[in-house]
Amino acid sequence: AQSVTQLGSHVSVSEGALVLLRCNYSSSVPPYLFWYVQYPNQGLQLLLKYTTGATLVKGINGFEAEFKKSETSFHLTKPSAHMSDAAEYFCAVTYSGAGSYQLTFGKGTKLSVIP
Amino acid sequence: DAGVIQSPRHEVTEMGQEVTLRCKPISGHNSLFWYRQTMMRGLELLIYFNNNVPIDDSGMPEDRFSAKMPNASFSTLKIQPSEPRDSAVYFCASSFGQGVSGNTIYFGEGSWLTVV
């Protein structure tokens, strides 16, 4: 079974500051990892994903995440926050392998950007 | 291109009433998912269809919930009878291929259900 823990249900940063959203996973098999963003009253949109290969993954809107197997982490970062980044962010995990469909989501981290 | 389309976007209903949520997946996608989002439990997978066939419905909370996918372009999630604890946002999502490991899931904007 897999699980995801997102540290901090709410994170506030100043505009222009570094964004760091933490995600730790638990999986008995090699994981595939995802970050999704949810803007108010909208569905989830994929930011980036790690499946295999390079452990530093770049996504949309300037976000990136690094898969660290030794730390079982997949933290999301962005060098400089923008007001439009204010949203809720979800980390998710599934097991590697064709046909895996059970995405396990974290509880989410709501990001506020202070002008 | 049109994304995943859900209706209704908002529904307020009285306890005991039947609720039907509808979903039109992205054309060409053959995997369809229904998720429920609540403050307490977060995002939970209710049911997964592949090629219109229910593959895993273990997340459906109880017999009051049922889902169908009569064809590749339409799915419904029905709650009968509805209860206040069913109040949540219900998301439909679709992807091409089997599963999510190599394929991007696209979410609809959700159906916000309130049962009073």
For each of chain A's 115 residues, which pLDDT tens digit applies?
Answer: 778 999 999 999 999 999 999 999 988 788 899 999 999 888 899 999 998 889 999 999 999 999 999 999 999 999 999 999 999 999 999 887 666 788 889 999 999 999 9
User: Residue B44 is inside which H or E element, if any?
Assistant: strand B42-50
Please state the rounded mean pLDDT for residues B6-27. Answer: 97
Please give, rounded to a whole number of angstroms, the shortest distance from the CA of B103 to a CA of chain A.
10
What's A18's DSSP letter? P
Tokens of A49: 């994903």
User: In sequence order, which residues have a C-beta less than 8 Å from that of residue B45 and are 6 or more positions away?
Assistant: A102, A103, B33, B34, B35, B56, B59
pLDDT digit string (tens) for B46-97? Answer: 999 999 999 999 999 889 999 999 999 999 999 999 999 999 999 999 998 8
Please give, rounded to a whole number of angstroms, the shortest distance from the CA of A19 to a CA of chain B.
23
What is the structure's pLDDT at A4? 93
Q: Which residue has the higher pLDDT, A30 or B3?
A: B3
Q: Residue B100 is nearest to which of A41, A43, A101, comparing CB atoms?
A: A101
pLDDT digit string (tens) for B21-50? Answer: 999 999 999 999 999 999 888 999 999 999
Residue B13, judged by CB atoms within 10 A of its CB (0-12, 13-18, 19+), counts as: middle
What is the structure's pLDDT at A97? 67
Cβ of A99 within 8 Å of Cβ of B56? The answer is no
